[in-house]
Amino acid sequence: MKISVHIIRQVDLVIIGGSSAAVETALALRQQGHSVFLVTPYTYFGEDYCAALNLHEVPASWQLGDNPRPAQVKLALLKKLLAADIDFLFQSYAIKLIYGAEEQFAGLLIGNRSGFQIIAAKAV
């Protein structure tokens, strides 16, 4: 059975995950001039600090104080992505890599509450 899936965005790079490292990588790639799309299965960014309650490890350069709260971490990362004009989706799962007719990489199939979508990209 074949299904038709919509391409929701065309970008240079797709990043899977919403950790602080994923966000920082997306920001660095965007600063280099690449278009970037971030996909995370969580409902927020910064799961490496927030989910494990490793809040004492949040970099001081983020200026969130000595005892940051999870909401502060999540908001700080979200604001960074919005300021850099990086598109993202929460609660979306990487399903399958997509390849074109000549077996070249073409994008990523994701699944979420809206169904399946494709993010066309040059690399993941």
pLDDT higher than threshold 90 for residue 117:
yes
The DSSP line for 95-114 is EEEEE-TTS-EEEEEEEETT
In a domain? residue 16: yes
Please give the model's pTM, rounded to 2 decimal places. Answer: 0.91
Domain assignment of residue 108, given as a range? 6-120
Q: Mind listing the pLDDT tens digit for each residue in 90-110?
A: 999 999 999 988 889 999 999
The answer to whether position 106 is within a domain reads yes
Structure token pair of residue 103: 């077996």
Number of domain units in the chain: 1
Q: Looking at the domain assignment, is residue 68 inside a domain?
A: yes
Give the pLDDT confidence of 37-84 residue by residue, as tens digits.
Answer: 999 999 999 999 999 899 999 999 999 988 899 999 999 999 999 999
Whether 30 is covered by a domain: the verdict is yes
> For the domain that residue 11 is a member of, what is the CATH number?
3.50.50.60
Does residue 1 form part of some domain?
no
